[in-house]
Amino acid sequence: MENRKYPSKQEEKFLALGYNRFLDLYKEVSSVGFWSKAKEERLLVVKELLSVYVELIKYRPLGFLLSNSKRPHTELVGKHLVGFLRNLLLHFPFYSSWEEIVFDKELITSVETCGKIDQFLTKEHPVDIKYRLWNHKSKEMVYIEVNLQTRYREGMEISLSSIIPEKEGVMLLSLYMYSILMSQVEEISEQEHETGQN
């Protein structure tokens, strides 16, 4: 990373808009009432949350952090898995709920061969990922396994839920994305934190 001061004035504007929107969406998906919402509404909120985060990690210090973290699987989960999910929801907006999302190699490569979704699913991931995270808002431990050992390369049909279940997956990824983004925040007041402003 080049030796200059971050963020620039232009980056500050970008980051303020992005962080404010991310924190609003994070607050929404972290609320107990989120899981009472219609499945269609939940999917739209999650798609937007992932999209905002993917744009924010283009900020150079965040990209550097993801690429150089000593924590296991940080780049895989914090960049590649999130990017895969965002691209899948964005480029295949034909489903109304997480559980309905089913795909195979033929569908994924029907319009774009060797795109980012196909690259992620084709790559040999060394292990499935198991996580245990404390959700400070709901005061509960979240246990989740991300199944990256799919049979996508063999042309088998795969459901998104078989890779990562909706509720636990959204809880895991929202907490993970939040922790990555907050690593670049020097100070945030408790009131701002609760209202999702920075």
**Backbone dihedral angles phi then psi of residue 18, each to the nearest 5 degrees:** -65, -45
Nearest to 166 by CA among 24, 33, 74, 42: 42
What whole-number distance in Å separates Cα of residue 163 and Cα of residue 171?
15
* Residue 130: strand, helix, or coil: strand
pLDDT range class, residue 189, cuts 50, 70, 90: low
Q: What is the pLDDT of residues 125-176, one digit of tens each?
A: 877 788 887 777 777 787 888 999 888 988 899 999 999 999 999 998 998 9
pLDDT at site 1: 54
Check if the beta carbon of residue 168 is closer than 8 Å to that of residue 129.
no
Domain limits of the chain?
9-195
Q: pTM for the full model?
A: 0.88
CA distances from 188 to 1, 90, 179 (A): 26, 31, 13
pLDDT at site 198: 39
